[in-house]
Structure 1
Amino acid sequence: MLFELAVIAAMATAQVDTTTVATGLRRPWSMAFLPGGDFLVSEKEGGLVRVSPEGTKHPVAGMPADIDNVVANRGDNSGLFDVVLHPDFTSNRRIYFTYAARGADGSTTRLATARLLDDRLVEFRSLFEATPRSAERVHYGGGLLIDDRRHLYLTVGERHFREGSNPPLPVSQDPADRRGKIYRFTLDGEPASGNPDFGANAVPGLYALGIRAAQGLAQEPGGGRIWMSEHGTHRGDEVNVLRPRANYGWPVHTSGRYRDAGYRPQALPGAIYTAPAWTWMDRTVAPAGLVVYSGSQFPEWRGDLILAGLSTGSLLRLDVEGDRILGEEPLLTGTRLRNVKQAPDGTLYLLTDEDDGRLLRLERRP
């Protein structure tokens, strides 16, 4: 009963509308806010595009030759993923981005960096590859975040469509396997000092494990908590607080149902599992990008999570108190949403997951 009351209390805040800033984007995945007001948008089935506030698009040249962005069907997760700016972008023009990198033996999640000069990438450098490559084209992860201490976080999915494709010790539970993990690096791509110790054979840079398909990362203003969204299977979508050395349980512990009904995974000896802050048992949300709101346009939302959902085409507000989520409020429905970002001036922008994708600005309805 207390939970039900909390959910009801979270309802009935501001009413919203959207204004279209740009159209014709090829399933946009993420965006970064450039000095001067332009947007740098990553297209899952395209490349990087600089978009003006008036909606004019300028493709960025120099994308890596091994990007696997020819998507066979809606269930194909391959493509270009997240993009973030270096904290000193104004002086060094450096960006970080993730994508599905192809090779003769399949594809893998790659973290790369380059400099953006005159709508062209130069000085490309690969920082991390989540090998081994796989012929499966799902669950790459690819979420990025640079925190207030200049650490670079990366999400990598477990890369299996069916749970039974795992070895006896699932890849996301194995510290020596690069898949199904969260990493924390320096801005040069080295393991960050102070990272947890997962043992002698652990992948360098490992920060947390037990991940299925996490994409969204967002930090509270002022160096607060980092929140993470994760896709479940047959429901079981989650929002988590990112903690060092946490094991989020997949596939040993999940609130969703396995695709392989008889699957029984082997547990990592001595594992302690971190419960989600929020999970959806009644429906599939497919949570993607999220942001901790701190703007002035919607003061009643400050400190809450605003989350984009792919499955039901929803924009949700999650009512946050400390490290707990008390309830949810639907803000928009009907269009698949890939991401939500807050601009430096506090404005919220959305990306729709469509062949003719749109960049939208969220407005308060009078």
Structure 2
Amino acid sequence: MTACDDCLRRTDLIAAIAGRLQIEFKQRSAPGRVLALPDDELLEIGASDHVTRRYADFDAPAARARASALRLTTVCRCRDEYPDSLRDLADPPAVLHVLGDPQVLADDEGVGVVGARRASAYGLDVARTIGRGLSAADVTVVSGLALGIDSAAHAGALEGRGRTVGVLAGSAHVAYPTRGFRLHAAVSERGAVISEMPPGANAHRWCFVARNRIIAALSAVTIVVQATERSGSLTTADFATELGRTVGAVPGQVTTRLSGGTHLLIQTGAPLIRHTADALELLAGATGRAFDARAAGRPAVPDLEPRLALLLAAVEDGHGTLSELAETADEARFALSGLGELERLGLVRRGFAGRWERAAA
């Protein structure tokens, strides 16, 4: 399995004019209008003798050898192994550089889980729990390996039995951000890390937008966990909608701007996602296939002594502060110790403003 000469040459051309493409993206507003251009028009955008010579002198065997030395598999859109889901794009990547198992890309029933880089503890908890639940139901989790929601979703997926795909804006063999190298390695071992950019290519701003279209295309359903109204992760939802894919959104607190983007999606018709079962129901509707929601559900609550069970029920009913949970000093002492025990069991967590809340399902 290896990419053809023409597709490798085109990929190298895009890397060569990457700086200029940033300007084109702003002018044309959508990646499909740029990355779908034929090679001769891309050469005109590059408009330099250096780029023209580089294109004419491109050495495809050397490109293959370099990718192979970095343990990358190259799959081009001329091959049968190329993911059918990406062919729905107006501008499918000419080549995918794959670190890991290329076969995972054949799964067209994955779920994209995306959101804010600067996520809250609530968002990280929900993303990780949904990623774990989807993986437990043997659903492939697709995301961008960025900080925040993306990394939490991948980490959750690695706790289940399913596979996960990380889509990078830069070279697939280089962890981005660098501090995420352990997660990058784990995802490549349990699934795949992919990029349309060749080894050594720098990730310009437009590359992240272009990366999002790949996430959307590889996913039968995209779920936005947390996002501001101007979050880049909303471009993934936009691409998914353009492709006719299903988009869901997780609600959040109305007092934080991190909920602005997801609430806007819900207001405009995106299904509300409360937990993994909702995500699986959405996936079943999109694919026509049933998924085992029981495998992905919240772990059964262990047998609790009556007072602890009542304390958990009170938290579930929205009583999240000590003053709401106790009226006397003795009750306050029990509540504090009880909350600690429930937290140890993974049933409650501290949320916004220190309030206790039920852990994500």
Bigger strand share: 1
Larger Rg: 2
Bigger helix share: 2
TM-score by length of 2: 0.25
